Amino acid sequence: MTHLLKSDSEIHLVIENEKKRQREQLVMIASENYTSSAVLEATGSILTNKYSEGYPGKRYYAGCENVDISESLAIERAKSLFNAESANVQAHSGSQANMAAFFSMCQTGDTIMGMSLDHGGHLTHGSKVNFSGKLYKFVPFGVNRETEALDFNNLYEIAEKNKPKLIIAGFTAYPLKVDFEKFKHIADSVGALLLADMAHISGLVAGGAHPSPVAHADIVTSTTHKTLRGPRGALALMKKNFEKKFNSAVFPNMQGGPMQHSIAAKAVAFKEAMSEDFKNYSFQIVKNSKILAKSLSENGLRIVAGGTDTHMLLVDTKAIGLNGSDAESALLSSGIVVNKNSIPFDDEPPMITSGIRIGTAALTSRNMLEKDMEIVSEFILESLRNHDNSKILSSIKEKVASFSAKFIVPGLD
């Protein structure tokens, strides 16, 4: 950082302040995590200088002998980690991986079935303000009003009625285990293809703490920076018959030169995710979520769908008279970072919401265990109860910072 300090003190300061924030606050955004120092080192490496349009062994530029090795390693490790037939590691983001998947499997105007955003889907699963909702005819599905869980009978009825070309099994705010085999069964019975977007749970899948969609789906997409703990970016796994189509959907159709620094960092993350430590990590994430959900619900908060099987929980804050936006602000004032989130059948608009989404992956990366989650739960409850008392929130913030200081920060320590 000494070079940056000399050449650009303003950006240097931003990074130093962000280090302090990531050290002192409790990072509980369900889609965030801390990467390892090794992943950071690869991300910040001189591989960023190299152009390498094309794929290993077939490039449009000379001098790719080194990045051919790292991209091939990333591909082989992704295939081995997830037991997949084929892999692509070039998509810059989860949204672009999804776009490439649609381009590989559908024609513009085709019908696609996906979870609606307000029930826990993603923008790229058919939102009207996103390319997906503009280029394709999306038929949404949601969760059951009573159970707040997926209702496969209802899903089948929607699929049978609309005969989609593609069904997406993927979520950004669904806390329960997903039965990908049932999705496959429905897709097969209506002649649809299946895309699994496992962005949130890919680290759990890699470690064995959540069933894998890979055997069931034609294509599986994922970001690499959530529970998987890799660099910002994405990967896709697919059946062999989609490999050519998917690769050309990414390049030359959508993207130009791949980001080789990021691809190398993905390779590092995949290697890390093969370890016994990572396996234990993935199970610990879920243990931490479960104990947090239990503790919050025993103290008056309502946990959507009755609990969690993953790294995330959705909390209905209206149960204690707070909307999601106010709950998010109160928690931020005490150094706990979560996001306001619509809950199923929410009456509030997306900028207000009736709930918050809480994730345990980042805190688990700091080696927090169940007993620590009980303390975190107390901080959360105390903050929400005192949401309009800035003095109390400030004092909780101090307690949160000294509690956080006891734990390592991967990438910084």
Which residue in 50, 59, 184, 226 is the catalytic one? Answer: 226
| Number of neighbours of residue 277 by Cβ within 10 angstroms | 11
SS3 call for 197:
strand
Residue nearest to ligand DSN (CB): 31
Contact 361, 26 (CB under 8 A): no
Q: CB of 220 within 8 A of CB of 213?
A: yes
Which positions from 47 to 86 touch ligand DSN by CB under 6 A, shown as an x/- string?
----------------------------------------
Min separation Cβ 191 and ligand DSN, Å:
29
Nearer Cβ to ligand DSN (172/289): 172
- 406 labelled catalytic: no
The interface mask with ligand DSN, positions 15-54, x = CB under 6 A, is ----------------x-----------------------
Contacts of 76 (CB under 8 A, 6+ apart): none
Q: What letters, b where the CB count within 10 A reaches 16 and e where it falls short, cover 180-209?
A: beebbebbeebebbbbbbbbbbbbbbbbeb
Kindly identify the residues of this chain, within the stretch 171-230, that bind ligand DSN according to CB under 6 A.
172
Using the minimum distance from each CB to ligand DSN, give the nearer residue, 199 or 214.
Answer: 199
Please confirm, yes or no, whether 223 is among the known catalytic residues: yes
Q: Quote the least distance from Cβ 122 to ligand DSN, whole Å.
A: 6
Q: Catalytic one among 35, 124, 223, 224?
A: 223
Interface with ligand DSN includes 310 (CB under 6 A)?
Answer: no
Shorter beta-carbon distance to ligand DSN: residue 31 or 354: 31
In angstroms, the Cα distances linking 270 to 55, 120, 216, 230 are: 19, 27, 21, 8
Nearest-approach distance from CB 308 to ligand DSN, in angstroms? 15
Tell me whether residue 94 or residue 114 sits nearer to ligand DSN (CB atom).
94
Catalytic hit among 19, 232, 239, 245:
232
Active site residue 71: no
Catalytic pick from 197, 272, 309, 326?
A: 197
Q: Pick between residue 54 and residue 170 the one whose CB is nearest to ligand DSN.
A: 170
Residues 6+ apart with CB under 8 A from 68: 52, 56, 57, 59
Interacting residues of 150 by C-beta distance below 8 A, sequence separation 6+: 143, 144, 174, 176, 178, 179
CB nearer ligand DSN, residue 232 or residue 399: 232
The count of chain residues that interact with ligand DSN, using the rule CB under 6 A, is 4
Q: How far apart are CA 122 and CA 132, in angstroms?
A: 10
**Closer residue to ligand DSN, CB minimum distance, 122 or 387:** 122
DSSP letters spanning 26-38:
EE--TT-----HH
Q: Is 318 among the residues known to form the active site?
A: no
- The CB-of-164 to ligand DSN minimum distance in angstroms stands at 22
Amino acid at 109: G
User: At 242, which helix (H) or strand (E)?
Assistant: helix 240-248
Count of all residues that appear for the chain in the document: 413
Residue 166's beta-bridge partner residues?
112, 193
Angle at the Cα of 388 from the Cα atoms of 383 and 391, rounded to 5 degrees:
75
Residue 94 makes contact with ligand DSN by CB under 6 A: yes
| Three-class secondary structure of residue 326 per DSSP | helix
Our answer to whether residue 357 is catalytic in this structure is no
Nearer to ligand DSN, 184 or 340 (CB): 340
In angstroms, rounded to a whole number, what is the distance separating the alpha carbons of residues 34 and 360? Answer: 12
Residue 244 among the catalytic residues: no
CB of 172 to ligand DSN, least distance (A): 4
Distance CA 378, CA 11 (A): 36
Site string for ligand DSN, 114-133 (x = CB under 6 A): --------x-----------
Q: Which residues bind ligand DSN (CB under 6 A)?
A: 31, 94, 122, 172
Active site residues: 51, 53, 197, 223, 226, 232
